[in-house]
Structure formats: structure tokens, C-alpha cells
Chains A and B, each alone.
Chain A
Amino acid sequence: MKAISLLRSPAVRDGLGIGVAVGAAGLAFGTAAVAAGLSPAQAVFTSAFMFTGASQFALIGVVAGGGDLVAGMLGALLLGARNTLYGLRLADVLGWRGGVRRALAAHGVIDETTAATLAQPDRASARLAFTTTFVVLGASWVVTTLVGALATRRVSDIDAWGLDAVGPAIFLALLWPRLREGGARARLIAGLGAGLALAATPVLPPGVPVLLAASAALIALIGPESPAAETADDTEEVRS
């Protein structure tokens, strides 16, 4: 009985739904990683221990382009820095002060777990949603990465499957809710970032143009704060 009522709770249901849907994107990561030159072991290691999708795709994008690894690492870390903001929010919501539990939970602080956790009405269901999403998403992300990585070795022509469009599509899906909620200033920052990166691509080593684009974020410091900008990072991406 207890298991059934647990499965019916919105906190668990949200976690399962998000976990399954996003874990499937692990297939795309596994294939893209091996196509970029990672071994299946390296792809699975990345999904298990880096465990933050946008950073992972950004890093293998640089590897695929034969770019400077240090630039790729910095780009991945800059993208991963948004998890710091999520952590700041989640610390109060989850209220886990203890050392080991907090250290374990930290690994699971990503877009999707934050979205699921912040959607809950109270601390008990927030903890339940966080844990369910973390566990389900983590398991399916790692397993599907392995499946994708092994499948790629048997597929001779990656491009024929349209997999080169998967990376941009994933970044688009992450950017979309931020653009919709962030207003004109968000579109300006995004447009300038894209423009800077494109202009720099022919003259700077792969990975560096994307780093340079981060300077477009300085526009956010000019003038009054746009009212929507504060909520724009509130992780709607999975459910939107």
C-alpha cells in the first residue's frame, strides 16, 4: 500500500517523468561523445561524474572540433556555474545541513532536479522530488549514455542519422524558456553572445569563441534590472 501511495504522490510522479524523458537524451550524448572521439568508458564516466548535460555537450563539442581542451574545460565550467545558483536556492528548500547527505545531494544539483524540487509545496515533498529525480534521471542518463556510445561504434555514418543537429537542439531547448521569460534584454544578450562567437570562430581556436561570448552577459549589469530577469533562471526548461 505504501509503495502505491508513494508512486501516486506528485513529487515522485514528476521525478519519474523528468527522469525518463531527460535520461533518453543520454542516448544523444553517448552517440555524440563517441563520434567526438571519446571511448565508451570516457562517455559513461562523463555522464556519471560530470553529470550536467549542457557542460558535457559543450566539452565534447570542443573535442569534436579538435579544439583546445583548456578552453573546452573553461566553457564547461562556466556553464556548470549555473548549478551554483541552483544550489543557493535549494539549500533553503531542502534544508540538509549534515555533511555526508549534503555532499551527496550536491552532485544532483542540476536543471531538472531544481525544476522538480522548486515545484513542490513543502519541504517533505521537495526532498522526495529531489531524491526521486536525482536517482531516476541519474540512472537512466548513465545507462542511455552507455547504450548510445556502444551503438555509435556500429553506426558508420553519424551524419546520416542527423545527430549533428542534436547538440544545437538540446541547447535551444535549454535556452528557450530563459528567452521567453527574460524579455528584450535576454534576447539582446543571447544575440550578442551568438554574434561574438560566430565572428571569433574563424580567428580563434575552437572553444575560445564560446568563452568570449560570455562577456555579452556584462550587458545585464547596465541600467535597471528587468523584472523578469530574476525568475528567468528558474529552471522551467524540462516542463515547458
Chain B
Amino acid sequence: MTLWIALIATAVGCYLLKYAGLAAPRRLLDNVWLRRFATAVPLALLAALIAVEALRGEGQTLAWDTARMGGVGAAVAALALRAPFLVVVLVAAGVTAGLRALGL
């Protein structure tokens, strides 16, 4: 039940954030500080999410999982080769699964 409430509340919040942009007064775009901060937030958040999920261990610990890190490395290589989104995701999962099958 708690999970449902969290999902619904987040969905409503995400919608309001989208709507706020479409309906906001134009002059907000001109605020340089707001724009600079808002542009930078996804950079910090996405990088943090990558690090925390790639190195996730049991509970709150960090752990090195060679198969998972191999998959993440393969995703980086795919992105450097300008592979499309779907290929990047498939390569990451495929390499990780492959390395695990090899016992790593």
C-alpha cells in the first residue's frame, strides 16, 4: 500500500513538473542562475546513479562485481562507437550475462 502511495504521488509530481514548464511564464527562461543550476542537476544525478547502481553490494555496502562492471564497460565502448540506445542496453546485459556464464 505504501508503495502504491509513493508511486501515485511521484507520478502526480512528475506530471506537475512537466506541466509547469509548458504553462510557465516565459521570463523564467531568462533567469540565468536557474537555468545553469537546472541544466547541471541531471549531470550530477545521472553520474551518481551510474556509480551507485554499478557498485551496489549487499545492503549499504559497495562491491565490485566483475561481470556487471564488464557490462558497464561494454556500454561505454558502445556509446563511444555511437551505437543507438537499444544496442547500448543489449550489449550491457549481454556482456554481463556472458561473463557470469563463464563463472566471473
- Complex partner residue of B18 from A25, A83, A193, A196, CB under 8 angstroms: A83
Taking a contact as CB atoms under 8 Å apart, the answer to whether A198 and B100 are in contact is no
Taking a contact as CB atoms under 8 Å apart, the answer to whether A73 and B42 are in contact is no
Q: How many chain B residues touch the partner (CB < 8 A)?
A: 75
Given contacts A38-B3, A220-B37, contact A240 B82 (CB under 8 A): yes
A126 at the interface (CB under 8 A from B): no
**B-contacting residues, A181-217, CB 8 Å:** 182, 186, 189-198, 201-203, 205-206, 209-210, 213-217
Set of chain A residues within 8 Å of B72, measured between Cβ atoms: 165, 168-169, 172
**B-contacting residues, A76-111, CB 8 Å:** 76-92, 96, 102-103, 105-107, 109-110
Q: Residue of B at shortest CB range from A161? A: B97
Q: 17 more A-B contacts (CB under 8 A) besides A79-B45, A106-B23, A214-B41?
A: A38-B7, A49-B8, A51-B11, A73-B6, A75-B45, A82-B42, A84-B21, A88-B28, A96-B22, A166-B93, A167-B49, A168-B54, A172-B50, A190-B46, A193-B44, A193-B47, A217-B44
Chain A residues within 8 Å of B, Cβ to Cβ: 21-22, 24-25, 28, 37-38, 42, 45-46, 49-52, 54-55, 57-59, 61, 63, 65-66, 69-70, 72-73, 75-92, 96, 102-103, 105-107, 109-110, 159-176, 178-179, 182, 186, 189-198, 201-203, 205-206, 209-210, 213-221, 225, 229-230, 232-233, 237-238, 240
